[in-house]
Amino acid sequence: MISVLGSGAFGTALAISLSQNGPVTLWSRDGEQVRAMRETRENAKRLPGASLPDAITITADLDAACRAQTILLALPMQRTAAFLAEHAQLLKGKTLVSCSKGIDLETGKGPTALMAALVPQARAAILTGPSFAADIGRGLPTALTLACADGAEALQAELSTPSLRLYRSADTIGAELGGALKNVIAIGAGVVMGAGMGDSARAALMTRGFAEMNRLAVARGARPETLSGLAGFGDLVLTCTSSQSRNFRHGFALGAGETIDQTVTVEGVATAHAVARMAEHGGIEMPIAVMIAALCDNRMTVAQATLALLSRPLKEE
């Protein structure tokens, strides 16, 4: 039995896909949303147009949802630490699979490190890679990385579905940093396109951004192969080139000088700040990520950030 905690776009989409294999419980903290989803068999607020099969039990009862042995956590990253701390008793002994992409601002930890610290008696895994909730919800083919330090063969089989192909890895650090860091670069790609700098500039930013992702991840113990895979390169390509991405759209609005929609989950903003801090403390060169953090809180204009990046000393690739 599998439960998904968090009925946002991604949690709902994963529940739909997993329900191809058997019963799934989808938990929401919002009783009103639970009633609406039960009645309409749709998550109209977060994933409109995708229907919720009968194999999905929708509940606001967290105790009931936590009876499952395998629990997927699909919450915004900055809400995860408080949730884990509050419900550590319920979650201990379980296999916890984080589906979040980000770095906790307060601790600098990614999802698996956070789960290991706050629920040490649980087994921590992460599911990440190129996948828009809307695509998964429609049953379109998708490939993801499932990382778990103790190997994940049985879990890989449990979470793979006819449309969701999982590749396993033991490199949780690489997997979680790939997913977190690509969001920061996707904001940058959005800025480039919103400001009208063109496709060539976006390709340059993606490539140099990927170099920064590797530099930080390897310094923290990741395997470079993980960054070259679905969790890093794959997701970077998806989010930097699609206006389905909320991080890309956020950057686009920044670049175009448009109003920002504050109600949308844009993980890359907090992650950019966490990364800028890590880069500074670790002496790691990450000029693009640092500029994006500055752009996100208006410490710099797009013109200033562009000039600063283009006028850096010339160097070898």
Ligand X SMILES: NC(=O)C1=CN([C@@H]2O[C@H](COP(=O)(O)OP(=O)(O)OC[C@H]3O[C@@H](n4cnc5c(N)ncnc54)[C@H](O)[C@@H]3O)[C@@H](O)[C@H]2O)C=CC1
Q: How far is the CB of 34 from ligand X (least distance, A)?
A: 11
Residue 29 labeled ligand binder: yes
Residue 245 labeled ligand binder: yes
Stretch that binds ligand 13P, among 164-172, 198-206, 239-247, 300-308 (CB under 6 A): 239-247
Using rule CB under 6 A, residue 109 touches ligand 13P: no
29 touches, from ligand 13P, ligand X, none (C-beta below 5 to 8 Å by class): ligand X
Using rule CB under 6 A, residue 239 touches ligand X: no
Give yes or no for a contact between 183 and 101, defined as CB atoms under 8 angstroms apart: yes
Using rule CB under 6 A, residue 210 touches ligand X: no
Question: Residue 305: which of 200, 225, 205 has the closest Cα?
Answer: 205
Q: Tokens standing for 39? A: 């009645």
Using rule CB under 6 A, residue 147 touches ligand 13P: no
**57, 58, 61, 67 alpha-carbon torsion, rounded to 10°:** 30
Using rule CB under 6 A, residue 101 touches ligand 13P: yes
Using rule CB under 6 A, residue 11 touches ligand X: yes
Using rule CB under 6 A, residue 130 touches ligand X: no
Using rule CB under 6 A, residue 130 touches ligand 13P: yes
* CA–CA separation, 274 and 268 (whole Å): 10
Using rule CB under 6 A, residue 238 touches ligand 13P: yes
Residue 246 labeled ligand binder: yes
Residue with tokens 């770095």: 103
* CA–CA separation, 12 and 4 (whole Å): 8
Binding mask 170-199 for ligand 13P (x = CB under 6 A): -------------x--x-------------
Residue partners of 61: CB distance under 8 A and separation at least 6: 27
* Binding residues for ligand 13P, total number by CB under 6 A: 13
Give yes or no for a contact between 253 and 259, defined as CB atoms under 8 angstroms apart: yes
Stretch that binds ligand X, among 51-59, 97-105, 195-203, 271-279 (CB under 6 A): 97-105
Using rule CB under 6 A, residue 101 touches ligand X: yes
Exposure of 42 by Cβ count < 10 A (0-12 exposed, 13-18 middle, 19+ buried)?
Answer: middle
Query: In this structure, what are the phi and psi dihedrals at residue 76, rounded to the nearest 5 degrees?
Result: -60, 140
Using rule CB under 6 A, residue 3 touches ligand 13P: no
Using rule CB under 6 A, residue 229 touches ligand 13P: no
Q: How far is the CB of 7 from ligand X (least distance, A)?
A: 5
Task: State the maximum Cα–Cα separation within the chain, in Å, rounded to a whole number.
Answer: 61
* CA–CA separation, 282 and 304 (whole Å): 25
Residue 182 bears catalytic tag: yes
Residue 294 labeled ligand binder: no
Residue ranges for the binding site?
10, 29, 101, 129, 131, 133, 182, 235, 245-247, 264, 267
Residue ranges for the binding site for NADPH?
10, 29, 101, 133, 246, 264, 267
Query: Which residues contact ligand 13P (rule: CB under 6 A)?
Result: 101, 130-132, 183, 186, 235, 238-239, 245-247, 267
Residue ranges for the binding site for sn-glycerol 3-phosphate?
101, 129, 131, 182, 235, 245-247
